[in-house]
Protein backbone atom coordinates (compact mmCIF):
# COMPACT_ATOMS: atom_id res chain seq x y z
CA UNK A 1 0.00 0.00 0.00
CA UNK A 2 1.30 3.44 -0.94
CA UNK A 3 1.67 5.78 1.99
CA UNK A 4 -0.86 8.59 1.87
CA UNK A 5 -0.14 11.96 3.36
CA UNK A 6 -3.53 13.41 2.58
CA UNK A 7 -5.49 15.24 5.28
CA UNK A 8 -9.25 14.82 5.21
CA UNK A 9 -11.69 16.49 7.57
CA UNK A 10 -15.35 15.49 7.54
CA UNK A 11 -18.07 17.73 8.93
CA UNK A 12 -20.98 15.90 10.59
CA UNK A 13 -23.68 14.38 8.36
CA UNK A 14 -26.55 16.22 10.06
CA UNK A 15 -25.20 19.49 8.64
CA UNK A 16 -26.69 18.67 5.22
CA UNK A 17 -30.17 18.21 6.73
CA UNK A 18 -29.89 21.43 8.69
CA UNK A 19 -28.96 23.43 5.59
CA UNK A 20 -31.71 21.76 3.56
CA UNK A 21 -34.35 22.44 6.21
CA UNK A 22 -33.38 26.09 6.62
CA UNK A 23 -35.22 28.57 4.44
CA UNK A 24 -32.38 29.88 2.29
CA UNK A 25 -34.35 33.05 1.62
CA UNK A 26 -34.11 33.76 5.34
CA UNK A 27 -30.42 34.61 5.26
CA UNK A 28 -30.60 38.09 3.84
CA UNK A 29 -29.95 39.94 7.09
CA UNK A 30 -27.01 39.51 9.42
CA UNK A 31 -29.40 38.61 12.26
CA UNK A 32 -30.84 35.79 10.16
CA UNK A 33 -27.37 34.52 9.28
CA UNK A 34 -26.36 34.60 12.92
CA UNK A 35 -29.54 32.78 13.97
CA UNK A 36 -28.66 30.05 11.46
CA UNK A 37 -25.08 29.79 12.72
CA UNK A 38 -26.18 29.65 16.36
CA UNK A 39 -28.59 26.85 15.43
CA UNK A 40 -25.65 24.95 13.93
CA UNK A 41 -23.70 25.37 17.17
CA UNK A 42 -26.70 24.16 19.17
CA UNK A 43 -27.08 21.07 17.02
CA UNK A 44 -23.36 20.32 17.32
CA UNK A 45 -23.89 20.17 21.08
CA UNK A 46 -27.09 18.11 20.87
CA UNK A 47 -25.53 15.62 18.42
CA UNK A 48 -22.30 15.53 20.45
CA UNK A 49 -20.27 16.02 17.29
CA UNK A 50 -17.85 18.64 18.63
CA UNK A 51 -17.49 21.83 20.64
CA UNK A 52 -20.27 24.44 21.01
CA UNK A 53 -19.10 26.57 18.12
CA UNK A 54 -20.27 27.15 14.55
CA UNK A 55 -19.39 29.52 11.74
CA UNK A 56 -20.31 30.04 8.11
CA UNK A 57 -19.07 31.96 5.11
CA UNK A 58 -21.75 33.92 3.24
CA UNK A 59 -21.76 36.26 0.30
CA UNK A 60 -21.94 39.53 2.16
CA UNK A 61 -24.44 41.23 -0.11
CA UNK A 62 -26.91 38.48 -1.00
CA UNK A 63 -26.51 36.24 2.05
CA UNK A 64 -25.92 33.20 -0.15
CA UNK A 65 -24.51 30.46 2.01
CA UNK A 66 -21.10 29.29 0.78
CA UNK A 67 -19.79 27.15 3.64
CA UNK A 68 -21.45 26.09 6.90
CA UNK A 69 -19.20 24.56 9.56
CA UNK A 70 -18.92 23.49 13.17
CA UNK A 71 -16.09 22.68 15.53
CA UNK A 72 -14.87 19.10 15.09
CA UNK A 73 -11.62 19.18 17.09
CA UNK A 74 -12.31 16.11 19.21
CA UNK A 75 -13.99 13.80 16.66
CA UNK A 76 -11.40 14.63 13.97
CA UNK A 77 -8.33 14.47 16.23
CA UNK A 78 -7.34 17.88 14.87
CA UNK A 79 -6.57 20.83 17.12
CA UNK A 80 -7.02 23.35 14.29
CA UNK A 81 -10.51 22.10 13.36
CA UNK A 82 -12.30 25.10 14.87
CA UNK A 83 -15.57 26.19 13.27
CA UNK A 84 -14.17 29.35 11.70
CA UNK A 85 -11.18 27.54 10.25
CA UNK A 86 -13.38 24.74 8.90
CA UNK A 87 -15.66 27.34 7.28
CA UNK A 88 -12.73 29.06 5.58
CA UNK A 89 -11.25 25.80 4.32
CA UNK A 90 -14.61 24.54 3.06
CA UNK A 91 -15.42 27.85 1.32
CA UNK A 92 -12.01 27.99 -0.34
CA UNK A 93 -12.17 24.38 -1.51
CA UNK A 94 -15.72 24.81 -2.82
CA UNK A 95 -14.84 28.03 -4.67
CA UNK A 96 -11.46 26.62 -5.74
CA UNK A 97 -9.45 29.57 -4.48
CA UNK A 98 -7.21 30.24 -1.50
CA UNK A 99 -8.47 33.83 -1.52
CA UNK A 100 -12.09 34.57 -0.61
CA UNK A 101 -11.34 38.17 -1.57
CA UNK A 102 -10.33 37.27 -5.13
CA UNK A 103 -11.38 39.89 -7.71
CA UNK A 104 -13.83 37.57 -9.48
CA UNK A 105 -15.79 36.89 -6.26
CA UNK A 106 -18.40 39.01 -4.47
CA UNK A 107 -17.36 40.23 -1.00
CA UNK A 108 -17.50 37.47 1.63
CA UNK A 109 -18.42 37.54 5.31
CA UNK A 110 -17.68 35.13 8.13
CA UNK A 111 -20.42 34.80 10.74
CA UNK A 112 -19.23 33.04 13.90
CA UNK A 113 -21.20 32.05 16.99
CA UNK A 114 -18.27 33.11 19.19
CA UNK A 115 -15.31 35.45 18.89
CA UNK A 116 -12.37 33.93 17.03
CA UNK A 117 -9.55 32.55 19.15
CA UNK A 118 -5.93 33.41 18.47
CA UNK A 119 -5.73 30.82 15.67
CA UNK A 120 -8.96 31.85 13.98
CA UNK A 121 -8.01 35.51 14.23
CA UNK A 122 -4.94 34.69 12.13
CA UNK A 123 -6.96 32.59 9.73
CA UNK A 124 -9.51 35.39 9.36
CA UNK A 125 -6.68 37.75 8.53
CA UNK A 126 -5.50 35.55 5.64
CA UNK A 127 -8.88 34.22 4.46
CA UNK A 128 -9.92 37.05 2.15
CA UNK A 129 -13.24 37.79 3.90
CA UNK A 130 -14.16 41.43 4.21
CA UNK A 131 -16.48 41.21 7.21
CA UNK A 132 -16.55 39.30 10.48
CA UNK A 133 -19.73 39.07 12.53
CA UNK A 134 -19.64 37.56 16.02
CA UNK A 135 -22.20 36.45 18.62
CA UNK A 136 -20.59 35.63 21.99
CA UNK A 137 -17.45 37.37 23.22
CA UNK A 138 -14.25 35.60 24.28
CA UNK A 139 -15.01 36.40 27.91
CA UNK A 140 -18.38 34.67 27.55
CA UNK A 141 -16.64 31.57 26.21
CA UNK A 142 -14.06 31.56 28.99
CA UNK A 143 -16.52 32.31 31.79
CA UNK A 144 -19.25 29.90 30.73
CA UNK A 145 -17.21 26.97 29.40
CA UNK A 146 -13.58 27.51 30.51
CA UNK A 147 -12.32 27.02 26.96
CA UNK A 148 -9.29 29.26 26.49
CA UNK A 149 -8.99 31.66 23.58
CA UNK A 150 -5.28 32.45 23.60
CA UNK A 151 -3.46 35.81 23.79
CA UNK A 152 -5.25 37.93 21.20
CA UNK A 153 -3.92 41.48 20.93
CA UNK A 154 -6.16 43.90 22.87
CA UNK A 155 -6.72 45.94 19.71
CA UNK A 156 -7.59 42.97 17.49
CA UNK A 157 -10.75 44.64 16.14
CA UNK A 158 -8.79 47.73 15.18
CA UNK A 159 -6.11 45.56 13.56
CA UNK A 160 -8.70 43.88 11.34
CA UNK A 161 -10.50 47.09 10.45
CA UNK A 162 -7.33 49.03 9.66
CA UNK A 163 -5.23 46.52 7.80
CA UNK A 164 -2.25 47.99 5.98
CA UNK A 165 -2.62 48.39 2.20
CA UNK A 166 -2.88 46.51 -0.05
CA UNK A 167 -4.90 44.31 2.33
CA UNK A 168 -8.59 45.15 2.39
CA UNK A 169 -10.18 46.09 5.73
CA UNK A 170 -12.26 43.49 7.57
CA UNK A 171 -15.33 45.09 9.15
CA UNK A 172 -16.11 43.63 12.58
CA UNK A 173 -19.56 43.47 14.17
CA UNK A 174 -19.82 42.10 17.70
CA UNK A 175 -22.55 41.04 20.14
CA UNK A 176 -25.08 40.04 17.48
CA UNK A 177 -27.62 37.73 19.20
CA UNK A 178 -25.04 37.42 21.95
CA UNK A 179 -27.53 36.02 24.48
CA UNK A 180 -28.60 33.22 22.16
CA UNK A 181 -24.97 32.38 21.42
CA UNK A 182 -24.22 32.29 25.15
CA UNK A 183 -27.22 30.00 25.73
CA UNK A 184 -25.53 27.36 23.57
CA UNK A 185 -22.32 27.69 25.58
CA UNK A 186 -24.37 27.12 28.75
CA UNK A 187 -26.09 24.14 27.14
CA UNK A 188 -22.69 22.61 26.42
CA UNK A 189 -21.49 23.18 29.98
CA UNK A 190 -24.71 21.83 31.49
CA UNK A 191 -24.65 18.75 29.29
CA UNK A 192 -21.15 17.89 30.50
CA UNK A 193 -19.41 18.64 27.20
CA UNK A 194 -15.68 18.04 27.10
CA UNK A 195 -13.55 21.15 27.51
CA UNK A 196 -10.21 20.58 25.81
CA UNK A 197 -7.29 22.93 25.71
CA UNK A 198 -4.52 21.07 23.93
CA UNK A 199 -1.16 21.57 25.61
CA UNK A 200 -2.61 22.31 29.04
CA UNK A 201 -2.11 20.32 32.22
CA UNK A 202 -5.75 19.41 32.66
ZN1 LIG B 1 -10.49 29.20 16.87
pLDDT tops 70 at residue 149: yes
pLDDT mean across residues, the chain: 94
| C-beta separation of 196 from 73 below 8 A | yes
Expressed in angstroms and rounded, the spacing between residue 151 Cα and the centre of ligand 1 is 12
Q: Give me ligand 1 centre to Cα 105, in Å.
A: 25
pTM of this prediction?
0.94
Q: What is the pLDDT of residues 52-99, one digit of tens each?
A: 999 999 999 999 999 999 999 999 999 999 999 999 999 999 999 999
- Tell me, in angstroms, the distance from the centre of ligand 1 to residue 77's CA: 15
Residue 148 CA to ligand 1 center (angstroms) comes to 10
Q: Does domain 14-190 have CATH number 3.40.140.10?
A: yes
Return d(Cα 73, Cα 113) in angstroms, integer: 16
Q: Where are the domains of the chain?
A: 14-190
**122 CA distance to ligand 1 centroid (A)?**
9
Phi/psi of residue 13, each to 5°?
A: -60, -30
- The region of weakest confidence among 18-27, 42-51, 83-92, 113-122 is 18-27
Q: At residue 2, does pLDDT exceed 90?
A: no
Amino acid sequence: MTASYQVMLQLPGWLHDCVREWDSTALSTREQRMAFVIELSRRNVLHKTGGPFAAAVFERGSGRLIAPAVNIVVPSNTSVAHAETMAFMLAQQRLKTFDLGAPHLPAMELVASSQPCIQCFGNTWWSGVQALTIGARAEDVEEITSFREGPLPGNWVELLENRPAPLKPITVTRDLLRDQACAVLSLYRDSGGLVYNAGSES
